[in-house]
Amino acid sequence: MEITLAILVIVVCVGFDFTNGFHDAANAIATAVSTKALTPRAALTLAALANLAGAMLGTAVAETIAKQIVNLDALNSLKIEQLTIVLAALLGGVAWNLITWWKGLPSSSSHALIGGLAGAGLAAMCIGWGVKVEWMHIVDKVLIPMVTSPAIGFVLGFFVMVLVLWIFRHAQAHRALRHFRMAQRFSSAAIALGHGLQDAQKTMGVMFMAALAMNWVRPGEGIPFWIKALAAAAIALGTYSGGFRIMRTLGRKIIEVDPARGFVTESVAASVLYLMAFVFHAPVSTTHTLTSALMGVGATKRLSAVRWGMAGNIVTAWVLTLPAAAAVAFVCFFAVHGILGLF
């Protein structure tokens, strides 16, 4: 039973990474496609390869997810209990991913997974399993970066775009835009790399939790290569499968993007992702960061150039993601616990 449950957790982890790929793939490529810097299929291929490479760049974010959201130390010898919590967390995250994908809203897969972990951990606390949800770490590593990374993206997007407009104020518009369109191929790759670095690591962290529960790895050994490879391959395959619903939202419904604004948006967002991963080890959202940078860049035209109604819908999805995924995971915990009780 324990091995079967552990394999099921790994399979659902791979499924979550796959949905993360097609859900968030559009973040890296929407602006490049909308400016015709890349065709949709070429953009998806580029994003998939960059996601694969980014997923192999580090494990600091994965270890934050594995060790600093829910403390399972009280269940060290209870494998099924640990796996029940992890499985319920994944189901909560996958469910919210699918709902927002269907609605075409670019919400955060990262925060769906973290909300799922918190909800499942809270459910386990309710029945006296001795689990501890690390609320202070959630505030420090999740909620604060969740607010600051979009704010940084918006402000940097605005001011970098102002600087670019000033530098190229005397350039011929047609020639400058052609060069920016070419440069977008690199900026799209940069943000796709950042997406792999951030988002694939979160599922690595959950798989690591399952492997620790089964004693397949030791706590001090770090995340093994097979977990990295599984997460990287799943997110790359999901990315290649496409995310055209969300691509339309980011590429057309927030602002009308030209190549210069697309390049600045992608470059700023990628920089914030690298900063949060390598310096703060914080699991931030590619979606939040890119969309905020896009709004900041759009505001340099005029405030009315940003479609604030659509932006408001997106912010609503952001705010709902953590509690909604937590609520689904809370319910899933009791469902999984009840089903396992039958056996």
pLDDT per residue as tens digits for the range 320-329: 888 989 999 9
β partners of residue 337: none
CA distance 323 to 302: 34
Residue 105 has pLDDT above 70, yes or no: no
Residue 211 has pLDDT above 50, yes or no: yes
pLDDT of 319: 78
Q: CB of 46 within 8 A of CB of 192?
A: yes
CA distance 67 to 123: 18
Between 47 and 296, name the one with better pLDDT. Answer: 296
Between 107 and 11, name the one with better pLDDT. Answer: 11
Q: Indicate the angle between helix axes 259-275 and 2-34, nearest 10 degrees.
A: 150
Token pair of 147, please?
Answer: 């607010």
Residue 331 has pLDDT above 80, yes or no: yes
Kindly report which listed range (46-55, 97-106, 220-229) carries the lowest average pLDDT score: 97-106
CA distance 188 to 32: 7
Assign 251 a pLDDT band (cuts: 50, 70, 90).
Answer: very low
pLDDT of 61: 86
CA distances in angstroms from 279 to 123, 153, 244, 276, 292, listed in the order given: 33, 16, 32, 6, 21
pLDDT of 317: 67
Residue 248 has pLDDT above 60, yes or no: no
Mean pLDDT of 163-176: 91
Between 11 and 45, name the one with better pLDDT. Answer: 11
Kindly report which listed range (205-209, 211-215, 251-255, 266-270) carries the lowest average pLDDT score: 251-255
Rg for the chain, CA atoms, rounded:
20
| Helix (H/G/I), strand (E/B), else coil: 236 | helix
Token pair of 9, please?
Answer: 């957790």
CA distance 62 to 74: 21
Kindly report which listed range (89-103, 108-122, 180-194) carries the lowest average pLDDT score: 89-103
Assign 100 a pLDDT band (cuts: 50, 70, 90).
Answer: confident
CA distance 335 to 232: 30
Token pair of 229, please?
Answer: 């490879």
Place of tokens 């299929």: 41
Between 19 and 85, name the one with better pLDDT. Answer: 85
pLDDT of 88: 93
Residue 305 has pLDDT above 80, yes or no: no
CA distance 125 to 122: 5
Mean pLDDT of 213-237: 87
pLDDT of 86: 94
- Residue type (1 letter), 214: M
Mean pLDDT of 303-308: 62
Backbone angles phi, psi at 71, to 5 degrees: -95, 115
Average pLDDT, the chain: 84
Residue 102 has pLDDT above 80, yes or no: no
Q: Return the percentage of the chain with pLDDT > 90, whole number.
A: 31
pLDDT in tens, 117-149: 999 999 999 999 989 999 998 999 888 888 888
Kindly report which listed range (37-51, 101-115, 273-287) carries the lowest average pLDDT score: 101-115
CA distance 16 to 11: 9
